[in-house]
Structure 1
Amino acid sequence: MSNPRSLDNLFHLVHVLKRQLHEQVEQLDLPIAPMHVRVIKIISKKSPCTAMDVVSVLDRDKAQVTRLIKTLVEEGFIEKRPNPEDKRSQCLLTTEKGNAVLTQIKTIDDEIFRKMANDVSNEELNTFQLIAEKLATNLAQKDEN
Structure 2
Amino acid sequence: MSNPRTLDNLFQLVHVLKRQLHEQVEQLSLPIAPMHVRVIKIISKNSPCTAMDIVNILDRDKAQVTRLIKTLIEEDFIKKEPNPNDKRSQCLLTTDKGNEVLNKIRAIDTQILDKMTRDVSAEELEAFQLVARKLAENLSQ
Tell me which interval the TM-score lies in, with the shorter structure as reference length.
Answer: over 0.9
Q: Which secondary structure state, in structure 1, belongs to the residue aligned with residue 31 of structure 2?
A: coil
Quote the residue 2:17 is aligned against. Answer: 17
**After superposition, where does 1:33-48 map in structure 2 within 5 Å?**
33-48=33-48
Q: Which amino acid aligns with 2:34?
A: P
Quote the residue 2:86 is aligned against. Answer: 86
Q: Which secondary structure state, in structure 2, belongs to the residue aligned with residue 81 of structure 1?
A: strand
Q: Which amino acid aligns with 1:95?
A: T
In the TM superposition, residue 69 of structure 1 has moved relative to its aligned partner by: 0.1
Q: Which secondary structure state, in structure 2, belongs to the residue aligned with residue 80 of structure 1?
A: strand
Quote the residue 1:77 is aligned against. Answer: 77
Q: Deviations over 1:7-62 (max 9, x none)?
A: 00000000000000000000000000000000000000001100000001111000
**After superposition, where does 1:106-125 map in structure 2 within 5 Å?**
106-125=106-125
In the TM superposition, residue 2 of structure 1 has moved relative to its aligned partner by: 1.8
Q: Deviations over 1:47-82 (max 9, x none)?
A: 110000000111100000000000000000000001
Q: Distance in 2 between matches of 1:4 and 1:60?
A: 29
In the TM superposition, residue 3 of structure 1 has moved relative to its aligned partner by: 1.2
Structure 1: which 4+ aligned runs deviate by more than 4 Å? none
Q: TM (normalized to structure 1)?
A: 0.96
% identical aligned pairs: 78
The number of residue pairs the alignment matches comes to 141
Q: TM (normalized to structure 2)?
A: 0.99
Q: Distance in 2 between matches of 1:72 and 1:47?
A: 16
Quote the residue 1:8 is aligned against. Answer: 8
- Unaligned runs of 5+ residues in structure 1 are none
CA RMSD of aligned residues (A): 0.5
Quote the residue 2:101 is aligned against. Answer: 101
Q: Which secondary structure state, in structure 2, belongs to the residue aligned with residue 49 of structure 1?
A: coil
Q: Distance in 2 between matches of 1:106 and 1:129?
A: 20
